Amino acid sequence: EIFSEPLEVALNTTGYLTFPWLIVFVPLVIHFAIVYLRFLLHLPTRIRNTVILAALLYVGGAVVVEAVSANRWFIDGGVSFPYLAIATVEELFEMLGAIVFLYALLLVAKDEGVTAVIQVSPRAETASFHRWAVSLSMVFVVTFNVVLGSWVYRQQSALVVEDGEIRPFYQEVADRYAGQGVVILQINEVITPENPAAQQYASSLLTLFDDLLIVSLPEQQSSIVFASQSLPFDRNELTVILQKYGKKQAIVLDTAAVSSVRDGG
């Protein structure tokens, strides 16, 4: 998961790939599945089917349900009850997969008559081609991870050079005005007068707060809301911070402009 942040920045992942570590994880799963396919096919039928079931449960949770939870995170703009419910199902599938796999190991122990002593029978020497294939695959995996790790490190270094530190612009606002009653919200909608869907958000915000500054980010299809009964900074100060972080396309709306959005103007 250490690859997630630089991958998200580089690829601008959204929706089901909001957690971009899946882009790295899925190819590795497929690779190892191919490597161990021969071993799997030579298992007794009952044990083979149990191992396959365990893999489907675990990978289904770690990939499929994880992708669904990532999409919910993206839609809700962060942690929400639906996201936590889906994440709980994800963990359940992974634990069930581990339990079923342990059951498969117990089946092996039973079929082999294992009690307190494990007897290892002589086995035929592994074919040379198969040994080479496994060795090359492991070299590939190690090389892939080294290259990817180096790329991630370079991306992180580039971000540090560009921004001074890896953090969103609104984090600077939060740090600078901590303890002064500033509420910061992220909305997965561009709040502009031209967007009819923004009227409901504008109405709700004006009902709750007296003073608003909204930064609409068209390139990210989202908006950052700074709200309070009396904001300790103005539009000009916020614009300076946006310029510092290279947000040239950002649109800043003050309370009057938000009222215009609410009224459909």
Tens-place pLDDT, residues 107-126:
888 877 666 555 666 655 55
- Among 129, 148, 163, where does a domain finish? 163
Instruction: Among 144, 163, 182, give the residue marking a domain's end.
Output: 163
pLDDT tens-digit profile of 68-99?
988 888 887 777 788 888 889 999 999 999 99
Where a domain ends, among 163, 195, 212?
Answer: 163
Name the pLDDT band for 57 (thresholds 50, 70, 90).
very high
pTM over the 0.75 mark? no
**Using H for helix, E for strand and C for coil, what is the string for the chain?**
CCCHHHHHHHHCCCHHHCCCHHHHHHHHHHHHHHHCHHHHHCCCHHHHHHHHHHHHHHHHHHHHHHHHHHHHHHHHCCCCHHHHHHHHHHHHHHHHHHHHHHHHHHHHHHHCCCCCCCCCCCCCCCCHHHHHHHHHHHHHHHHHHHHHHHHHHHHHHHHHHHHCCCCCHHHHHHHHCCCCCCEEEEECCCCCCCCCCHHHHHHHHHHHCCEEEEEEEHHHCEEEEEEECCCCCCHHHHHHHHHHCCCCCCEEEEHHHHHHHHCCC
Provide the percentage of residues in the chain whose pLDDT is more than 90.
Answer: 19
pLDDT above 90: residue 169: no
Domain shared by 157 and 181, yes or no:
no
pLDDT at 163: 46
Q: Are both 146 and 192 inside the same structural domain? A: no
Give the range among 25-39, 104-118, 159-173 with minimum mean pLDDT: 159-173
Q: Are residues 152 and 226 in the same domain?
A: no
Looking at the fold, whether 158 and 176 belong to one and the same domain comes out as no
Position 261 pLDDT exceeds 70: yes
**157 shares a domain with 176:** no
Mean pLDDT over residues 3-20, rounded?
A: 73
The pLDDT value recorded for residue 125 is 56
Q: Provide the percentage of residues in the chain whose pLDDT is more than 70.
A: 81
Counting the structural domains of the chain, the total is 2
Q: Is the pLDDT of residue 161 over 50?
A: no
Do 123 and 192 lie in a common domain? no
pLDDT at residue 26 tops 50: yes
Domain that holds residue 243: 169-262
Residue 162's pLDDT is what?
47
Q: Please tell me whether residues 10 and 105 are part of one structural domain.
A: yes
User: For all residues of the chain together, what is the average pLDDT?
Assistant: 81
Shared-domain flag, residues 156 and 188? no
Mean pLDDT of 230-238: 91
pLDDT band at 43 (very low <50, low <70, confident <90, very high): confident
